[in-house]
C-alpha cells in the first residue's frame, strides 16, 4: 500500500442561518484542489462540529456564518474541539464578519477569516499553505 496522507477539511455551518451557497462553493473549490472535504450541512451546533472533526480526524475546520452569531459560536467550537483533544486542528472562517471582530477571532485560534468578495483561489492557496504537516508520528 502506498503511504498517502490526504488532507481532510470539514466545512460546517454553525447556528441558525440557512444560507449555505458560500459554504458549498468553498467546499467544491477545495475538492477541486485535491482536498477531501466533509460538508456537514446547515444548522450545526458547536458540539456537532467538534464531534465531526473528531470522528473524521480532520486536519482543518472551516466555519461559514452569516447570522452574526460568530462571537458566540466560534469560541464554543474552539472549546468543544479542546474538550475532545483536537486543539491541533487548523481553524478558518468566512461569511459576514465585521472587521472589528477579526482580531478577537484570530486570537482564539482562527487563522484566517474570509469575508464577502474573497476569491476561491485565495482560499485554496491559503489552505494549501496552512495545512498542517502531520506525519505518522504526530498522528498518535
Partner 1 sequence: MTSELSRRLLQGDKRALTRVLSLVENGYPEGRQALRELFSHSGRAHIIGVTGSTGSGKSTLVGALARHFRQRDRSIGIVVTDPTSPFSHGALLGDRIRMQDLTSDPGVFIRSMATRGALGGLAPATNDVVTVLEAAGKEVVLVETVGAGQDEVEIADTAHTTIVMSIPGAGDEIQTIKAGILEIADILVVNKADQMGADLIARQLHMFLTLSKDRGWEVPIIKTTAHQGKGVSELADAIDRHRVYLEESGRLEEIRRHRARRQLLSLAQSQFLAYVLATAEADGHIETLVEAVARREMDPHTAAERLIEAVAGGRFSLWGSQG
Please report, as ranges, the residues that interact with partner 1 according to CB under 8 A. Answer: 1-6, 27-28, 30-41, 44-45, 47-48, 51-52, 54-57, 84-86, 136, 139-140
Strand-pair category, 60-65 with 8-12: parallel
Own/partner long-range contacts of 126-130 (Cβ < 8 Å, ≥24 apart): 126/92, 127/9, 127/30, 127/33, 127/35, 127/60, 127/92, 128/33, 130/60, 130/90, 130/92
Q: How far is the CB of 66 from partner 1 (least distance, A)?
A: 18
Q: Is 114 exposed, middle or buried (0-12, 13-18, 19+ CB in 10 A)?
A: buried
Q: Which is nearer to partner 1, 25 or 108 (CB)?
A: 25
Contact 11, 23 (CB under 8 A): yes
Q: Which is nearer to partner 1, 31 or 101 (CB)?
A: 31
Closest CB 31 distance from partner 1, rounded Å: 4
Phi-psi category of residue 97: left, alpha or beta, with phi > 0 → left and psi -120 to 50 → alpha: beta
Please say which residue, 133 or 136, places its beta carbon nearer to partner 1: 136
Least distance from C-beta 14 to partner 1, angstroms?
Answer: 12
In whole angstroms, how close is the CB of 69 to partner 1 at the nearest point?
19
Minimum CB–partner distance for residue 74 and partner 1 (Å): 19
Pick 17 or 51: Cβ nearer partner 1:
51
Amino acid at each position: 500500500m502506498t503511504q498517502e496522507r490526504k488532507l481532510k477539511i470539514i466545512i460546517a455551518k454553525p447556528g441558525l442561518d440557512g444560507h449555505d451557497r458560500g459554504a458549498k462553493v468553498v467546499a467544491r473549490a477545495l475538492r477541486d484542489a485535491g482536498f477531501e472535504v466533509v460538508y456537514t450541512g446547515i444548522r450545526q451546533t458547536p458540539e456537532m462540529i467538534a464531534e465531526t472533526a473528531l470522528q473524521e480526524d480532520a486536519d482543518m475546520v472551516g466555519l461559514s456564518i452569516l447570522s452574526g452569531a460568530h462571537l458566540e459560536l466560534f469560541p464554543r467550537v474552539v472549546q468543544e474541539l479542546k474538550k475532545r483533544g483536537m486543539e491541533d486542528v487548523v481553524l478558518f472562517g468566512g461569511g459576514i464578519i465585521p472587521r472589528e471582530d477579526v482580531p478577537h477571532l484570530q486570537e482564539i485560534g482562527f487563522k484566517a477569516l474570509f469575508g464577502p468578495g474573497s476569491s476561491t483561489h485565495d482560499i485554496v492557496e491559503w489552505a494549501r499553505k496552512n495545512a498542517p504537516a502531520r506525519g505518522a508520528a504526530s498522528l498518535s
